[in-house]
């Protein structure tokens, strides 16, 4: 167990856990756009930066991203100094120039008193804030179908060579984890389309309802050794089927009792 100070309050934390978790547990609200429990932190958005120092540093301090900085006993942390607020404000100002249409960024900007960006707006802008959540979750999945491509200001999230990604299984994790809803997908008939790739959905054998793609089910069956039959029916029909089976048990119990 380690002991650290956050905004003057002494707090206990596990040695080696990331500062951001501790800060959030204390109920302190700092923005962390690229942070998500299901993925490893990367420190892209820089908004979770905090000021740290130690008693032996004699007043010297440094700024670190709390999502990546591990707890050390004796750390002194400040989360809302005027310098940090200025940094966050400027970063959001830059994000607003990049994604002027994003409601999330607009709301954040308003919270920091920015009504209009101070900078030149990106032409043909989309709402991608380059948080890498989509690529990271695809890595966790084990497919790595998409990744950051190009360099610098031209950087974008894309499948290899901008072609339909061979490794994508249509699970939609990337689209759903995206904080600004940039990744679009389309379910129609029995087909799902995402990243310009088409997937056949599993059709419930009884009612035809669709839940996940055939590729995704096959992936889970392979990676986790689940019986493929589990995916034949939709959840509604499986519940009815369960009820029916439970009914059979009831009938047998009553038979035996008689």
Partner 1 sequence: MRLESVKELALLRYDAVVKREAQSKKILVCLGPGCLAGGSEQILAEFKIQLKKKKIKGVKLEAVKQTGCQGLCARGPLVTIEPEGIMYTKVRKPDVAEIVESTLIKGEVVEKLLYSEPQDKKKKIPHYKDIPFYSGQTKIALRNVGRIDFHEINDYIAVGGYAALAKVLTKMKPKQVIDEVVTSGLRGRGGAGFPTGRKWATCAKIEEEPRYVLCNGDEGDPGAFMDRCIMEGDPHSVLEGMIICSYAVGSHEGYIYVREEYPLAIVNLQKAIEDAREVGLLGKNILGSGHDFDIKISKGAGAFVCGESSALMKSVAGDVGEPRAKYIRSVQKGLHDKPTVLNNVESYANIPVILEKGGKWFASIGTKKSTGTKAFSLAGKVENTGLVEVPMGTSLKEIIFDIGGGVPEGREFKAVQTGGPSGGCLPASKLDLPVDFDSLTEAGSMMGSGGMIIMDNRTCMVEIARYFLEFLVKESCGKCVPCREGLYQLYQLCTKITKGQGCEEDIALMEKLSKTIQTASLCGLGQSGPNPFLSTIQYFRDEYLAHVRDKKCPGGVCRELIRFEINDNCNGCQACPKVCPVNAISGEKKKLHVIDQDLCTRCGSCEAVCRYDAIDVF
Partner 2 sequence: MKFRFKVTPNLCIGCRTCELACAFTHQQNSKPGRSRIYPISYAPDKWVPVTCLQCDDPACVKACMFDALRRNEETGAIELDKERCVKCNACVAACPFGCALNDDVHDEVIKCDLCGGNPACAAFCPTKALEYKRIA
Interacting residues with partner 1 (CB under 8 A):
42-46, 49, 63-65, 68-70, 83, 86-87, 90-91, 94-95, 97-98, 118-120, 129-130, 132, 147-148, 150-155
Q: For residue 70, state whether it binds partner 2 (rule: CB under 8 A).
A: no
At CA 115, angle to CA 110 and CA 116, rounded to 5? 135
The partner in contact with residue 91, picked from partner 2, partner 1, none with C-beta cut-offs of 5 to 8 angstroms by kind, is partner 1
Residue 230 binds to partner 2 (criterion: CB under 8 A): yes
Question: Which of partner 2, partner 1, none does 45 bind, CB closer than 5 to 8 A by kind?
Answer: partner 1
* By CB under 8 A, residue 216 contacts partner 2: yes
Q: In angstroms, give the least distance from the CB of 119 to partner 1.
A: 4
**Single residue of 249, 255, 256, 258 touching partner 2 by CB under 8 A:** 249
The minimum distance between CB 89 and partner 1, in angstroms, equals: 9
| Member of 244, 255, 256, 258 binding partner 2 (CB under 8 A) | 244
Using CB under 8 A as the binding rule, whether residue 202 contacts partner 2 is answered as yes
Shorter beta-carbon distance to partner 1: residue 119 or 230? 119
Cα(215)–Cα(218) distance, rounded to whole angstroms? Answer: 5
37 binds partner 2 (CB under 8 A): yes
Per CB under 8 A, 55 contacts partner 2: no
Nearer Cβ to partner 2, position 70 or 247? 247
Interaction between residue 233 and partner 2 (CB under 8 A)? yes
Kindly state whether residue 224 participates in binding partner 2, applying the rule CB under 8 A.
yes
Strand partners, 77: 6, 52
Q: How far is the CB of 162 from partner 2 (least distance, A)?
A: 24
Among partner 2, partner 1, none, residue 207 binds (CB under 5-8 Å by kind): none
**Strands across the sheet containing 210-213:** 185-188, 191-194, 197-203, 210-213
User: How would you write the chain as a 3-class SS string?
Assistant: CEEEEECCEEEEECCCCEHHHHHHHCCCCCCCCCCCCCCCCCCCCCCCEEEEECHHHCCCCEEEECCCCECCCCCEEECCCHHHHHHHHHHHHHHHHHCCCCHHHHHHHHHCCCCCCCCCCCCCCCCCCCCCHHHHHHHHHCCCCCEEECCHHHCEEECHHHCCCCCCCCCCHHHHHCCCCCCCEEEECCEEEECCEEEEEEECCCCCCEEEEHHHHHHHHHHHCCCHHHHCCCHHHHHHHHHHHHHHHHHHHHHHHC
Q: Which residues of this chain interact with partner 2, rule CB under 8 A?
A: 36-38, 137, 140-142, 171-173, 176-177, 202, 211-212, 216-217, 220, 223-226, 230-231, 233-244, 246-247, 249-250, 253-254
């Amino acid at each position: 167990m380690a002991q650290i100070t956050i905004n003057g309050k002494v707090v206990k934390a596990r040695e080696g856990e990331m500062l951001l978790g501790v800060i959030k547990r204390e109920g302190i609200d700092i923005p962390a756009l690229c942070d998500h429990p299901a993925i490893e932190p990367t420190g892209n958005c820089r908004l979770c930066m905090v000021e740290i120092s130690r008693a032996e540093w004699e007043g010297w301090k440094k700024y670190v991203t709390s999502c990546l900085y591990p707890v050390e006993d004796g750390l002194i942390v400040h989360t809302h100094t005027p310098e940090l607020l200025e940094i966050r404000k400027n970063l959001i100002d830059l994000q607003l120039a990049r994604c002027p249409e994003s409601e999330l960024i607009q709301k954040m900007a308003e919270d920091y008193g920015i009504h209009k960006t101070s900078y030149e707006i990106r032409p043909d802008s989309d709402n991608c804030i380059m948080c890498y959540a989509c690529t990271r979750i695809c890595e966790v999945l084990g497919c790595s179908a998409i990744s950051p491509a190009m360099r610098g200001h031209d950087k974008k999230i894309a499948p290899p060579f901008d072609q339909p990604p061979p490794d994508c299984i249509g699970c939609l994790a990337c689209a759903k984890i995206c904080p600004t809803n940039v990744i679009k997908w389309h379910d129609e008939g029995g087909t799902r389309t995402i990243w310009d790739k088409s997937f056949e959905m599993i059709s419930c054998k009884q009612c035809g309802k669709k839940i996940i793609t055939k590729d995704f089910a096959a992936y889970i069956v392979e990676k986790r050794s689940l019986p493929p039959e589990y995916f034949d029916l939709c959840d509604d029909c499986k519940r009815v089927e369960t009820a029916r089976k439970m009914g059979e048990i009831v009938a047998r119990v009553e038979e035996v009792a008689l």
